[in-house]
Amino acid sequence: MKKNFRKNLLLGLLVLTIFFIGFFSKDFYNELNSKVIQNIKPKNILLPEPKEGTYKVMKVLDGDTVILETGEKFRYLGIDAPEGNDRWGPEAKKLNEEMVLNKKIKVELDRIKLDKYGRILGYIWIDNILVNEVLVERGYAKINLIKGEVKPKYLDRLKKAEDWARQNHDGVWFDEWESKIKESNK
């Protein structure tokens, strides 16, 4: 009986000791961890400060994203073009390249200036031509509204361009039209 009592007492003391060590050491480790985090310096992580102006387009990434001479990524506001490996993606990129690559363009910003990836959002103009609108009108992009955000400044123009492309079955709207024709022939 004495043996079991001693074992249980020692086991209880051991459990209490482990509990107290764990309980009091968590504060020590939390304090140590916060000091380590405070001493880590971020490596100049800065989001770009979007500015309107005239810039040269150095690279076209796809149908709705380019890299400006400042090195910043610029995404066309209010539209979404197919990705490079999607149907109509290569054509969207090609048209975008023909219009803006290695050219001086005018950047116009709206109320939404950056997306969640840190890309500048806005409109690209070449003289009096709104590139965002041309991509939609040719069927190489669709209107893309960000849920819960204010409507883009040129939404009415983009809607007219999209309606025109849809009525003429251009680009992405060709696929929709073609599938309706196939269904009606069944």
Q: Residue 130: helix, strand or coil by DSSP?
A: strand
Whether pLDDT at 125 is above 80: yes
- Residue 49 region by backbone torsions, left for phi larger than 0, else alpha for psi between -120 and 50, else beta: beta
What CA–CA distance (Å, rounded) separates 145 from 151?
7
Instruction: Tokens 């400042």: give the residue.
Output: 70
What CA–CA distance (Å, rounded) separates 123 from 110?
8
- Residue 171 region by backbone torsions, left for phi larger than 0, else alpha for psi between -120 and 50, else beta: left
What CA–CA distance (Å, rounded) separates 57 from 141?
19
pLDDT for the residue numbered 50: 81
pLDDT for the residue numbered 84: 85
Q: What is the pTM of this model?
A: 0.69
Tell me which residues are annotated as active site.
Answer: 75, 83, 119
pLDDT band (50, 70, 90) for residue 81: very high
Query: Looking at 17-21, 74-78, 164-168, 171-175, which range is the least confident one?
Result: 17-21
